[in-house]
Amino acid sequence: MKKNLFFVLLLCSVLQGTSQTPAEFKSPTNRYRPKPLWFWNNTTVTRKGIDTQLKALKEQAGYGGVSILPFGAKFGPKYLSPEYFDLYEYTAGKAEALGMQLSLYDEYGFPSGSGGAIGGDDIPRFLNRYPSLAMKRLDKIEEEVDGGTVYHKPASAAGKLMAVVAMDTATKERIDLTDKITEGVIVWKVPEGRWKIMQFVCVNDGDPNMDYLSKDAARAYVTMTHEQYYKRFPQYFGTTITETFFDEPTLYRAKGRVWTPSFNDEYRARYGSSPALYYPALWYDIGPETEAARNALFTLRSDLYAEAYPLTISRWSAAHGALATGHQDNEEVENPVGTSGDLMKCFRYLDIPGIDKIGTWAERPTERFYKIVSSAAYNWDHSLVMSETYGAMGNLPWDSLYSIAMDQFAKGINVLIPHAAWYDDDNVTFLPELSSRNPLYADGLYDFNTFLGRMHTILQNEDRFVAEIAVLYPIHTMQGDHRFDGPLDPYQGGVEIPYLDYVQLGQMLTDGLGRDFEWLHPEVLADRCTVGKRGTLDLSGTKQYNSFHTLIIPASKTISVSTLNQAAALYEAGGKVIFTSQLPTRSAEAGADDWVVTLMGELLPQAAQGVYRNRNKNGGEVLFIEHPDLQTLSLALQRTEPYDVEGIGYTPAMALAGGKANPGLKGGAVPLRYIHKERNGKSIFYFANLSDEPFDKEIALRGKKRFELWNPHTGETYPVAAHYDKKGKENITLLRLTLPRLKSLFLVEK
């Protein structure tokens, strides 16, 4: 254990780090070079094949390691057999000799949690070994009865009975019938009216994956998988095996109704009451308490999801000298309640939150969600953010490979895992095949992976992310409008919420206006943010902290009282609050709807007259943008002091002339993407030009600073000429930035 603790401390010290030298940047070490998924696909893997391919992956393709993924029914040796572990140990030894690292992929196929039943050899190893810990589903059994009779029916014995509730179909009055069950029979004298009597039962679903809401199931799965690797070759953990990787757990399984038998006990322990009377809200409108009930139940479900496998694997990994990463399935669903539960909170305990860029933009527009995952990292004081990238995208041209990567790095990704290299390159399931054996990529792959290595060298550390704009992650309104058995397939999330605009707002800010921002989860806004005296919303953290001048609240019908209180405090202190599309009217907490209406009336007192702007003597401002677009959002974001970055896109400094919006706001021009990090008080900017036109303009940066230009495409570093000015009372640095199409650079403060 002391050895493993040493390796954890070593990893942390490396991450903390100091500024890399130009030589380290020009020739990145294996530690920073990408580690692709290496599919051991549908064939028998041999030591000879490992020797040949692993060496080529390093020396010809430029990779720094791999993540081994057994895949396909014909894979051999048999998964988790002694022969399999012997081969894996041999690979670890070979990787160590080559100075490469391994990421321990936790499954045979995917998603994580079955032990090979899906994408493997169809053997449900987890279900066979731990049947009581496999996936559960919440079912509803109901019937309607008229009043004036005695209801006498057996309670369901199909699984664990979670609640029995009667609801008046007209008034929505609900009655808990738990105490009306005697010897397995429900006996109840029905009052006048028409009543819907519902039994809610947690049953075995038959899905071979683990119960994703159960810590016991997560520990059992780790015992079956991770522990078996460590037991056989502990010497490689913390040195050669430095990461663990889980893949595509999700809540859309079990008909979108993933549940767990311990749910009620967990609810009582945390909230001190029974959830029974809230259960009907999972399917129906139950009146004024609907949104609050759904938020109570879905919040707990998301908590259990985050506290099961992600937390378990993070703790196990830390104890064994590794960092844990992974991603959800189908992250592209705008309402994630039915798929990921809460796409920010599910990463709360994970060392390296992740996402999967897979398929075409039309099929899987993952880029719209990069910043949600990177913001999740920052919200909970993490620094590394992973993307499994390029899977099932076909034989991409080089321009696409580079532009996708640059977009990811500008939006917070700093661990790019290429998908994929294939052991049997004649039997590739998901193109592209990213090894030097592929003639399409052979000549340029080493240079590309060197580019990725340079990016990782600068960005893989605990530098803090810097932004001025915070945007609320509207999980409470999404939970308030979600229900089970919605009109959409569970894979698509079950329920589409038409008024949501948060994803589009994020795109407008980064891709349309060239303005960076951070999503704030409402729980983080409540627990880790305070309002400063100078009109800032201050996010506290050991590594990730920020001061935001502006808080944007996207379309929200339902909102928490704490969120509105923070917004009101920011306004009173002189900050800016912007609401968009839909003003909140409901509370995420029971019995507080009137407070939401009252506080919104104070923030926008003339809204009833169509006046959606309010200012106070401290300089505070509240705005409502009914139909946000690039022009209205740009105007709303104007400030008097200098921006963190000016001149790279449609910032107000560029876009406004004589009080009129620049027509270019409607012309579709693409601003630079950028990210601002800070290390020991010194700034690092990354700029990427993803347009087809060269960028050649003077930009303004806050403060009086000296920069060097570090080119990740060539490895060159050189000084940048700058001059200085003032804007108001603040110093600004002015320099000319020249970027050809599809190129990028770092500005590193000296």
Taking Cα atoms as reference points, which of 343, 640, 645, 732 lies closest to residue 466?
645
Q: What is the tens place of the pLDDT at every residue in 213-225?
A: 999 999 999 999 9
What pLDDT, on a 0 to 100 scale, did the predictor assign at position 477? 98
CA atoms of 278 and 292, how far apart (whole Å): 9
Among candidate residues 428, 460, 492, the one where a domain is terminated: 460
Contacts of 498 (CB under 8 A, 6+ apart): none
Position 350 in a domain: yes
Residue 104 and residue 250 in one domain? yes
What pLDDT, on a 0 to 100 scale, did the predictor assign at position 15? 40
Instruction: Tell me if residue 631 falls in helix, strand or coil.
Output: helix
Q: What is the tens place of the pLDDT at every residue in 357-381?
A: 999 877 889 999 999 999 999 999 9
With contact defined as beta carbons under 8 Å apart, do 239 and 7 qualify?
A: yes
The residue range of the domain holding 691 is 665-750
What is the helix (H) or strand (E) element at residue 472, kind and residue range? Answer: strand 469-472
CATH number of the domain that residue 373 is part of: 3.20.20.80
Q: Dihedrals φ, ψ of 555, to 5°?
A: -45, 120
Q: Indicate the average pLDDT of the chain.
A: 93
What pLDDT, on a 0 to 100 scale, did the predictor assign at position 729? 84
Whether omega for the bond prior to residue 498 falls within 30 degrees of 0, making it cis, is: no
Is pLDDT at 656 greater than 60 in this prediction? Answer: no
CATH number of the domain that residue 688 is part of: 2.60.40.1180
Residue 630 and residue 720 in one domain? no
With contact defined as beta carbons under 8 Å apart, do 574 and 615 qualify?
A: no
The two counts, helices (H) then strands (E), for the chain are 20, 40
Q: What is the tens place of the pLDDT at every residue in 695-739?
A: 999 999 989 999 999 999 999 999 999 999 988 888 899 999 999
What pLDDT, on a 0 to 100 scale, did the predictor assign at position 730? 85
With contact defined as beta carbons under 8 Å apart, do 249 and 218 qualify?
A: no
Tally of CB atoms within 10 A around 692? 9
Q: Which two tokens stand for residue 303?
A: 């908590």
Residue 484 and residue 554 in one domain? yes
For the segment 76-105, the average pLDDT, to the nearest whole number, is 98
Among candidate residues 445, 460, 475, the one where a domain is terminated: 460
Residue 170 and residue 221 in one domain? no
What pLDDT, on a 0 to 100 scale, did the predictor assign at position 668? 45
Is pLDDT at 654 greater than 50 in this prediction? Answer: no
What pLDDT, on a 0 to 100 scale, did the predictor assign at position 638? 83
Position 356 in a domain: yes
For the segment 537-544, the average pLDDT, to the nearest whole number, is 97
Is pLDDT at 655 greater than 90 in this prediction? Answer: no
Residue 484 and residue 377 in one domain? no
Instruction: Tell me if residue 537 falls in helix, strand or coil.
Output: strand
CA atoms of 558 and 597, how far apart (whole Å): 11
Instruction: Tell me if residue 168 falls in helix, strand or coil.
Output: strand
Q: What is the tens place of the pLDDT at every residue in 683-703?
A: 999 999 999 999 999 999 989
Number of domains in the chain: 4
Rg (CA), the chain: 27
Whether omega for the bond prior to residue 420 falls within 30 degrees of 0, making it cis, is: yes
Residue 248 and residue 392 in one domain? yes
Position 485 in a domain: yes
What pLDDT, on a 0 to 100 scale, did the predictor assign at position 649? 44
Residue 442 and residue 400 in one domain? yes
What pLDDT, on a 0 to 100 scale, did the predictor assign at position 646? 60
Contacts of 138 (CB under 8 A, 6+ apart): 162, 200, 201, 202, 203, 257, 258, 259, 282, 484
Residue 238 and residue 309 in one domain? yes
The percent of residues above 90 in pLDDT, for the chain, comes to 90
Q: What is the tens place of the pLDDT at every residue in 473-513?
A: 999 999 999 999 999 999 999 999 999 999 999 999 999 99
Contacts of 723 (CB under 8 A, 6+ apart): 733, 734, 735
Tally of CB atoms within 10 A around 232? 14
Position 265 in a domain: no
Position 279 in a domain: no
Residue 79 and residue 148 in one domain? no
Position 603 in a domain: yes
Q: What is the tens place of the pLDDT at every residue in 408-450?
A: 999 999 999 999 999 999 999 999 999 999 999 999 999 999 9
What pLDDT, on a 0 to 100 scale, did the predictor assign at position 17? 42
What pLDDT, on a 0 to 100 scale, did the predictor assign at position 8? 37
Q: In terms of C-beta distances under 8 Å and separation of at least 24 residues, what long-range contacts does 91-96 make, across chains too?
A: 91/50, 91/54, 92/233, 92/236, 92/240, 92/241, 93/236, 94/50, 94/51, 94/54, 95/54, 95/65, 95/66, 95/240, 96/236, 96/239, 96/240
The percent of residues above 70 in pLDDT, for the chain, comes to 93
Q: What is the tens place of the pLDDT at every residue in 623-645?
A: 999 999 999 999 999 864 444 56
CA atoms of 156 and 164, how far apart (whole Å): 10
What is the helix (H) or strand (E) element at residue 166, kind and residue range? Answer: strand 160-168
Contacts of 271 (CB under 8 A, 6+ apart): 296
With contact defined as beta carbons under 8 Å apart, do 704 and 733 qualify?
A: yes
Q: What is the tens place of the pLDDT at every residue in 238-286?
A: 999 999 999 999 999 999 999 999 999 999 999 999 999 999 999 999 9
Give the total residue count for the chain.
Answer: 750
CATH number of the domain that residue 545 is part of: 3.40.50
What pLDDT, on a 0 to 100 scale, did the predictor assign at position 653? 32
With contact defined as beta carbons under 8 Å apart, do 586 and 614 qualify?
A: no
What pLDDT, on a 0 to 100 scale, did the predictor assign at position 644? 58
Q: Dihedrals φ, ψ of 639, to 5°?
A: -140, 165
Instruction: Tell me if residue 23 falls in helix, strand or coil.
Output: helix
Among candidate residues 460, 478, 499, the one where a domain is terminated: 460
Is pLDDT at 356 greater than 50 in this prediction? Answer: yes
Taking Cα atoms as reference points, which of 435, 315, 402 lies closest to residue 713?
402
Position 270 in a domain: no
Residue 185 and residue 316 in one domain? no
Residue 45 and residue 167 in one domain? no
With contact defined as beta carbons under 8 Å apart, do 744 and 689 qualify?
A: yes
From residue 317, give the alpha-carbon distance in Å to each of 89, 226, 620.
18, 9, 46
CA atoms of 500 and 553, how far apart (whole Å): 11
Is pLDDT at 660 greater than 50 in this prediction? Answer: no
Is pLDDT at 652 greater than 80 in this prediction? Answer: no
Residue 621 and residue 696 in one domain? no
Position 252 in a domain: yes
